[in-house]
Homo-oligomer: A and B are copies of this chain.
């Protein structure tokens, strides 16, 4: 994954770092004196990105309150979500529309609720509700997404880690774990532009994950396709069609796909999606029907009218890309210039998504975050990309450059580089 390009502009060879400690301390003091207040913590869209969907704030518009089939979207009903919006996203996510639900404002809620339903009532094929099992474990590829870990932790699900590779989770490590251990009930995967390392699951890895034998008869892959359409280059990667592959492998019920428009339209005011086998969709709807009369169809119509088609969504995402790509380029450029050939850090060059994964000298990640905080740069806490917030090597830092304006991204990254250097020199 990481491709630290050599840079002629880097300040000093690695061996000299200790000697540079006084100079780096001065540099850091000067940084502190500037009183910055910059934030690279969370993967939030910037105001400029949100502006792209500004016309939605006046949609659907007075007098527009029926969907394409004539249903009054202002009233109750329609547990599956608006057919015309499901049609658009079925094409984008490459799933049958009958197997796609359009629901509330957050895929996190759908993932949490799938876990809750599984604990309370089991999934199709469960010998017992998961909450009645002695122990339930999930495999978490690391580095990974902290909110996946929070869901596991809340439910008392023990987390087992496997490494990420450039092609997604280390499939052989996963296969070895699940083969004999029936307590392992699931696996988290962010298949497209993973949080935080940007990896895209290859078809071979996807195939292995859906076809490997599992000791648990009710093993599930929580396929969090959060960045399915969030390309940073002209290469609009299409992830392996996991539902088809699973069905072909005879394990149609293994994957449950989640996605949303949170980083397409508005974060928090978007629409979330769940796609899975007919049995899984039926299972989810059975429990959802007790919890909800139906999702916000007005918001779904708003989305359908604004985007119009799958191609409308793709067009919209190209505008996001124009805003985001320079920020990611700035991160890469500053890191390359400042740390390029020192051998003290590696980082990812993601082709999509919202994050750069930075590995610093082992044992210094938390020190880097601390130094940055004291200089007014908020970074995601070290360890956040690992279950229980514990990075055993204390090396990984997740950078989120989407939110600040480009100039601030550059400024923040210069500061981060100084902190990485100082922490390394202190060692």
A268 touches B131 (CB 8 A): no
Digitize A102-127: 1 where CB-to-B-CB distance is under 8 Å, 0 elsewhere.
Answer: 00111011001100100111000000
Q: Is A165 an interface residue (CB 8 A)?
A: no
Q: Is A33 an interface residue (CB 8 A)?
A: no
Digitize A289-305: 1 where CB-to-B-CB distance is under 8 Å, 0 elsewhere.
Answer: 01111111111000000
- Distance (Å) between the CB of A299 and the closest chain B CB? 7
Q: Is A73 an interface residue (CB 8 A)?
A: yes
5 tightest A-B contacts by CB?
Answer: A269-B298, A112-B291, A50-B74, A74-B266, A76-B267
- Give the number of chain A interface residues (Cβ < 8 Å): 57
Which A residues are within 8 Å of any B CB, using their own CB? Answer: 42, 44-45, 47, 50, 53-55, 57-65, 72-78, 104-106, 108-109, 112-113, 116, 119-121, 131, 147, 150-151, 154-155, 262, 266-269, 287, 290-299
- Distance (Å) between the CB of A83 and the closest chain B CB? 15
A75 touches B291 (CB 8 A): no
- Distance (Å) between the CB of A302 and the closest chain B CB? 9
Taking CB as reference atom, which chain B residue is nearest A65?
B57
Given A58-B61, A116-B120, answer yes or no on A267-B109 (Cβ-Cβ < 8 Å): no
A290 touches B154 (CB 8 A): yes
A293 to B150, CA, bound (A): 12
CB-defined contacts of A150 to chain B, threshold 8 Å: 290
B65 touches A54 (CB 8 A): yes
B57 touches A75 (CB 8 A): no
- Distance (Å) between the CB of A315 and the closest chain B CB? 19
A233 to B412, CA, bound (A): 61
CB-defined contacts of A119 to chain B, threshold 8 Å: 120
A268 touches B296 (CB 8 A): yes
